[in-house]
Amino acid sequence: MLDQKLIRSEPERVKAGVAAKREKVDIDAYLALDEERRDIIAQVDNLKAERNRVSREIADEKRQGANPEDKIKAMREVSAEVKEHDDKLRNVEAKIENLLMWIPNMPHSSVPVGRNEDDNKIIRHWGEKPSLAFEPVPHWDIAESLDLVDFSRASVIAGSNFALFKGKGARLVRALISFMLDMHTRKHGYTEIWPPSLANRDSMMGTGQLPKLEDDMYHCQVDDYFLVPTAEVPLTNIHRGDILDGKSLPIRYTAYSPCFRREAGSYGKETRGLNRVHQFDKVELVKFVVPEGSYDELESLVGDAEEVLQALGLHYRVLLLCTGELSFAAAKCYDLEVWSPAQAKWLEVSSCSNFEDFQARRAGIRYRPAAGEKARFVHTLNGSGVALPRIIVAILETYQTGDGRLKVPDVLVPFMDGADVIE
């Protein structure tokens, strides 16, 4: 959540940030509630001060043998008034807390102002678009002809927009996960985590998925658990409520997890094959860092994700998202998109974001710079390192041979029992 001091002191900036993100939340309503809260607190403080003063007078009069019944009766009325104000204060604070949960993070000053994907800024490209000597076959045809994915069986088991990987297809999924985890732990210095695939409501609130995105989540109502939409949720909540030792920062975690997203309302386009599915696999990267270095850490995070794509030999580009494309919780975000030769379009495979202290405030994650110093909120970052379905799309379409076979990217051969071709 935002620092309430910021909302109070710079309301016009906050309103502009809300508008730039195309969110709808009434900042004036927050300011009115905040003013009401402070008025109630002032009234309660005055009443309590009066009660304390008169209580001392009552004690003095009793010691002197007097009967302060009138004052005692008056103080009972004051105590009742204090309780009434306390109840009113709890009600106002609950409204404020709810409203705060709907106020998005502010875009960083370096984020371009824009409404949609047309306003995103292309930062760089890597590699060349594959030049195939034949008409490229779409990944769904390759996957089925090589018996790597069975979409029809997945539909029978679960429904539309699910995938069932089998045989060498399942092995390819496992190879990619192992390859990425090895790179991030051995080369990039992340600590590997194997997290739960369910998260409670507090965890989902802490990272900003709730309350805004509840309709997009798979919810287990009996226990009030949510299937994780990304390992960002459990990884970030490892330190919910903690005060970290400043010397331990930066902390870097990586994890594989299945990811589950209803994506209500988003279906009907780009849904064929593996382009958009309800369950997918992803290796996630999460960082806890000091505020002063968080934007350097964001560039480093992007580089860690890019190295995966470079090692796989996939043509990609890096985009800086405009304000209208930023997620609710992000202050700045880069997207990595790979090229799909058969579909002739870009496919997002990673989003790398700096949330500054937005998630840390919601989840209560702080650090103490040095012994005796005041605890401060950390900055949190996360990025896909990377998401599998569309990576597999790019591999199938980039490495097809034209004669019905698939070349395995060199870095994956050791994870495929030495097989360099799938046929």
Which candidate in 261, 361, 362, 366 is catalytic? Answer: 261
In the residue annotation, 351 being an active-site residue is answered as yes
Closest by Cα among 387, 376, 324 to 352: 387
Which candidate in 276, 361, 362, 366 is catalytic? Answer: 276
In the residue annotation, 81 being an active-site residue is answered as no
In the residue annotation, 307 being an active-site residue is answered as no
What dihedral do alpha carbons 146, 149, 151, 154 form, nearest 10°?
A: 140
Which candidate in 240, 348, 368, 405 is catalytic? Answer: 348
- Quote the CA–CA distance of 347 and 335 in Å, as a whole number: 10
DSSP string, 190-251: PEEE---SEEEHHHHHHHT-TTTTGGGS-EETTTTEEE-SSTHHHHHGGGTT-EEEGGG-SE
What dihedral do alpha carbons 301, 170, 151, 406 form, nearest 10°?
A: 90
Which residue spans within 275-331 are E strands per DSSP? 279-289, 316-320
At 421, list the tokens.
Answer: 């071709």
Which candidate in 337, 362, 390, 397 is catalytic? Answer: 390
Which candidate in 203, 294, 340, 351 is catalytic? Answer: 351
In the residue annotation, 276 being an active-site residue is answered as yes
- Quote the CA–CA distance of 44 and 41 in Å, as a whole number: 5
Which letter does DSSP use for residue 136 in this model? P
168-182 and 294-311 helices cross at what angle (nearest 10)? 140
Other CB atoms closer than 10 Å to residue 38's CB: what's the count?
Answer: 12
- Quote the CA–CA distance of 289 and 272 in Å, as a whole number: 39
In the residue annotation, 36 being an active-site residue is answered as no
Give the catalytic positions in this structure: 261, 276, 348, 351, 390
